[in-house]
Structure 1
Amino acid sequence: MAAPFPVPRSLRWLCSALLLAGLMLGGLQADWDFAQISRRAQALYGPLGEGQQRIDAWQQLLATQKQTPELEQLKVVNLFFNKRVRYVEDIDLWRQVDYWETPIQALWKGAGDCEDYATPDAMPLVLDSLIDGILPASQRTDLLPVYSFNAEGLWLPGAKGNKKVGDTKRLSRWQDVLKKMQAEGFPVETTN
C-alpha cells in the first residue's frame, strides 16, 4: 500500500483499505458475517442509514464475483467504489489530517480519500477514484509511490527497485485499520 502524499486531488489514487478489503474476493470473505459486521458497525457508529444499503451491495458484489477472473474482479470492485464512495479529504470528513478508514467506515459515510497498495515483485495496478480504467503503475507517470506494503513486509521504492525495510508493525495507521476492522467483526489478525 503506498502512502498518500500531499499532491492535488487529481493526482491521488484511491484504493485504501476499503479496496484492499474489496479485492479479497478469494478465501477471506468466506469468513465474513455481514449480519454481525452490520450489527457491530451500528453499535460503533450509530444508525448506518444509506450506508447499510452500500454495505449490503458490497456483500452482494462479493457473493456474485467469486468465479469471475481476477482482472474482471478488479474492474468491478473499482467501479463499485468509484460509484458509491465520493472523494472527501480526511480533514473535512474525519477532522484529522490523515485518517485511514475501514471499508465499513467508507461505505457508512459514502466518502473517503486515498491510501493505496502494491506488491514488491510485480507491477502494481492502479485503481483510481477519478479514472474508472485500471492501469499499470508504469503508465501512471502522474503518480509517485511513497512506499508499499503487504502481509510480507514494508518496501521503499528506489532506483534499483523496491527495498524491504521492515514489516507492517511500523505502520501504525494500518495497524489501527486492522483493529477497527476487527472491532467491526472482520476476522483479521493484528500485529502488536
Structure 2
Amino acid sequence: MNLQRFNKSIQQKRCHIFIVAAFLAVSTLYAAPTQQLDANKITSTLAKRYGERAGLRAKAWFKVVAEAQKLPEKQQLEKVNQFFNLFRFVDDIVLWGDSNYWATPMEFIGVNGGDCEDFSIAKYFTLLQLGIPEDKLRITMVKATSVNQYHMVLAYYETPGAIPLVLDNLDTKIKPATQRGDLLPVYSFNGKQLWLNKEKGRGVLAGSSSRLEKWNDLKNRLGVDRLRQPKLNME
C-alpha cells in the first residue's frame, strides 16, 4: 500500500456509532508529553476559548493525571480509557464543518467531544504524559466490521511481541486484540514510526509516521495558540 492509499484511507474513515456520555465529561491536555504542565494557563485558556465548563474539564484532567501517576501501567490505561470514554461522540462534519479533522487533545477536551481519532489521540498523549513509553503505544486505523466503517483505536503493547490491548470508544472495555474480532487492522503509528498491519500483531514497518499528512498537521497545532472554534456548541 503506497502513501496515496494511506491518506485516502484516512479521508474515507468515519465513525458512525454515536456514544452518549452518561455524565459531563471533564479533562484537558497540553502540548507535549512528559513536560511540566502549566495548569493555570491551560485551565484559563480553555475557559476563555470554550467556556467555563471547559475550564472545569481542565481541572478534572489534571486530577486524573495526578491520581494515575503512581499506578501500574495497566491501571493507568483503565483510568485514562474510562475518563475519556465519558466524552460525547460527534462526527467531524457536524462539530467542525470538516469531513476529516483531527482535533488536538486540548480541542477535544475544550469542546467536550469528537470522533474516534480524537478519543484515540487524547488517550495517546495522556498516557505519554504519565510516562508510558512511546514504543508501547500505537494509534491504529482499523475496519470496524460491525458498522462497516473505518475506525481508530489506541493499542498498548506491554512487550514488543505481545498481543496489544485495545482502548476503544465503541467497546469501552479494554480487551486484547484477539478478542476484538470486529476490528480488522489497516495501519498503525506513533510519534516515530508507521506500520502496515495484516494481522492483530505488530505489523510490518513502513517508515516514519511523518508520512501521514494529518499527523503532521496535528503536531503543528499542539498547544494553546492554535485552538479551533467548533461549529457546534456541545455544552
TM-score interval for Structure 1 and Structure 2 normalised by the shorter chain: 0.7 to 0.9
User: Is the 2:210–2:216 Cα contact (8 Å) retained in structure 1?
Assistant: yes
* Gap regions ≥5 residues in structure 1: 11-20, 186-192
Equivalent residues of 1:147, 1:154 under 8 A apart? yes
Give the structure, 1 or 2, with the largest relative contact order (CA under 8 Å, sep 6 or more): 1
Partner AA of 1:169 in structure 2: S
* Higher share in strand: 2
User: Using the alignment, how far apart are the partners of 1:106 and 1:142 within structure 2?
Assistant: 26
- Unaligned regions of 5+ residues in structure 2, if any? 1-8, 19-28, 121-138, 140-154, 227-235
Q: Which of 59, 63, 69 is matched with 1:60 structurally? A: 63
Picking from 193, 208, 221, the partner of 1:153 is 193
Give the helix-richer structure, 1 or 2.
1
- Give the Cα–Cα distance (whole angstroms) in 1 for the partners of residues 69 and 59 of structure 2: 16
TM-score, with structure 2 as normaliser: 0.61
Match for residue 183 of structure 2?
A: 143
Q: Percent identity?
A: 35
- Contact 1:119-1:148 at 8 Å conserved across structures: no
The answer to whether 1:32 aligns with 2:34 is no
TM-score, normalised by the number of residues in structure 1: 0.73
Pairwise CA distance, 1:36: 2.6
Among candidates 194, 200, 203, match of residue 162 of structure 1: 203
- Measured at CA, do residues 65 and 94 of structure 1 come closer, stay the same or move farther in structure 2, by a change above 3 Å? same
2:13 equivalent to 1:5:
yes
Deviation at 1:52, TM superposition (A): 1.2
Aligned match of 1:189: none
Instruction: Give the Å deviation of 1:156.
Output: 0.7
Distance in 2 (CA, whole Å) between partners of 1:119 and 1:154 is 15
